[in-house]
Amino acid sequence: MNFKSIFVCLAATLINGFCLAQTNQTAVVEDFKTSSTTQSGKQYPQVNSEGRVRTSILAPQALKVQIDIGAVKYDLIKDEKGVWTGESAPQDEGFHYYQLNIDGASVPDPGSLYFYGASRWGSGIEVPAKDQDFYALKDVPHGKISQNLYFSKITNSQRRCFVYTPPDYDKNTSTRYPVLYLQHGMGEDETGWNVQGKANLILDNLIAEKKAIPMIIVMDKGYATKPNQTPPQAGGAPAGGSGGFSAFEEVMINEIIPMIDTNYRTKADREHRAMAGLSMGANQTIQITMNNLDKFSYIGGFSGTSNFPSVAELDPATFSNGKFKDGEALNKQIKLFWLGLGTKEPNPFPGSVGAFRAMLEKAGIKYVFYQSTGTAHEWLTWRRDLFQFVPLLFK
């Protein structure tokens, strides 16, 4: 604990009667900088070379202000002007959702950009990763992200779908492209992959280096229920909002894919159609692709499998109505079966993905297993998955 930490702790003790967050901290490295997720023109939040997140907020009458990140709350310390400042313990590289707590109120940090995750719009922070170059915004040709609004008869609701088209899509006006359907996780929505996922930049960079075949990526919302299945949600905006997903497979097969094949220049066959997703989206991917192998030949499960949350041993003869039992036939149909996992993922993911892998091996189904080093159930794991997965598609 350096002099400043001691002083800060002393001040915290005087104000709050105890010193919470600082006691277990070693010296904080004073090389904080604003993050790519700090609002332009704002001074905080900042991140240092250890991955600590520091924020600061004027709250003269507040009794207690905390930053709540990675399921831990860290106390901020008040100065004589009523400005509260403080930092978290070092965080993993990559993107994290967080919030502030002001006298018991959980609120977004007014200095950060906002993202949809944890079933809410709220603050996010980017801790620079050593390998961040692969998703950096570079001066290479960029694809477009298009917002498509459409009415879904199955759910009787307005929906929104984001579509990435590669850099040359509008120039090569007779070329047709393969399609990757890419799904978000629970509590996230159709904005996830093109904002915090950086899917567009990952593809732009891979295509510029000729490491991936130019392709279309479709990012829709993984929630879909029929009108009689759930009460209408608050708000009414097509953006955001979690919900059930009992009708998602039907929406994907009967509405989304036909819409994309009608409105975009796709190669509309199973050889040129992939699906991948993260967490809940991985579970959905495996279920939908295995139920529709006439429509898909590439499968990507990032941090999730269709046995979630069970870690129990699976028998290929009976699991999922025996869909996985004939390994030899499946190996002919499936061009790529990809599973990914971060090395720091919490339970039940290591166990449930492990049980699923064991089942694939028992059935003799070929698959690729990718591990993201030092990342948990978070976006850097999934950005890396996408970066490694996409070069294997449509070749």
Residues lying near a copy of itself in the complex (CB under 8 A) are found at 34-43, 57-65, 82, 99-100, 102-110, 113-114, 119-122, 137, 139, 142, 144-151, 158, 170, 173, 200, 233-243, 263-264
Q: How far is the CB of 359 from a copy of itself (least distance, A)?
A: 35
Which residue, among 141, 196, 148, 195, has the nearest Cα to 166 in the 3D structure? 141
Beta-bridged to residue 19, according to DSSP, are none
Q: By C-beta, is 223 or 356 nearer to a copy of itself?
A: 223
Q: How far is the CB of 117 from a copy of itself (least distance, A)?
A: 12
Residues 129, 49: contact at Cβ < 8 Å?
A: no
Beta-bridged to residue 382, according to DSSP, are none
Beta-bridged to residue 74, according to DSSP, are 67
Tokens of 317: 């003869």
Q: By C-beta, is 60 or 346 nearer to a copy of itself?
A: 60
Environment class of 148 (CB within 10 Å of its CB; exposed 0-12, middle 13-18, buried 19+)? middle
Q: By C-beta, is 192 or 243 nearer to a copy of itself?
A: 243
- Show the CA angle centred on residue 296, arms to residues 291 and 297, nearest 5°: 115
Q: How far is the CB of 64 from a copy of itself (least distance, A)?
A: 6
Q: Work out whether the CA dihedral 36, 40, 41, 45 comes out positive or negative.
A: negative
Q: How far is the CB of 138 from a copy of itself (least distance, A)?
A: 9
Q: By C-beta, is 1 or 102 nearer to a copy of itself?
A: 102
Which residue, among 248, 333, 260, 246, has the nearest Cα to 296 in the 3D structure? 333
Q: How far is the CB of 331 from a copy of itself (least distance, A)?
A: 38
Q: By C-beta, is 146 or 246 nearer to a copy of itself?
A: 146
Which residue, among 351, 194, 220, has the nearest Cα to 275 in the 3D structure? 220
Q: How far is the CB of 395 from a copy of itself (least distance, A)?
A: 27
Q: By C-beta, is 84 or 302 nearer to a copy of itself?
A: 84
Q: How far is the CB of 234 from a copy of itself (least distance, A)?
A: 4
**DSSP designation for 248:** H
Q: By C-beta, is 57 or 217 nearer to a copy of itself?
A: 57
Q: How far is the CB of 100 from a copy of itself (least distance, A)?
A: 7
Tell which phi-psi region holds residue 137, choosing left (phi > 0), alpha (psi between -120 and 50) or beta: beta
SS3 334: coil
Q: By C-beta, is 109 or 385 nearer to a copy of itself?
A: 109
Q: How far is the CB of 239 from a copy of itself (least distance, A)?
A: 7
CA Rg, the chain, in Å?
A: 23
C-alpha to C-alpha distance for 107 and 84, rounded to whole angstroms: 15
Tokens of 391: 């070069």
C-alpha to C-alpha distance for 100 and 75, rounded to whole angstroms: 10
Q: By C-beta, is 94 or 342 nearer to a copy of itself?
A: 94
Q: By C-beta, is 109 or 345 nearer to a copy of itself?
A: 109
Tell which phi-psi region holds residue 320, choosing left (phi > 0), alpha (psi between -120 and 50) or beta: left
C-alpha to C-alpha distance for 179 and 163, rounded to whole angstroms: 10
Q: How far is the CB of 181 from a copy of itself (least distance, A)?
A: 18
Q: How far is the CB of 256 from a copy of itself (least distance, A)?
A: 15
Beta-bridged to residue 107, according to DSSP, are 100
Q: By C-beta, is 145 or 392 nearer to a copy of itself?
A: 145
Instruction: List Cα–Cα distances, 39 to 50, 116, 269, in angstroms.
Output: 21, 16, 43
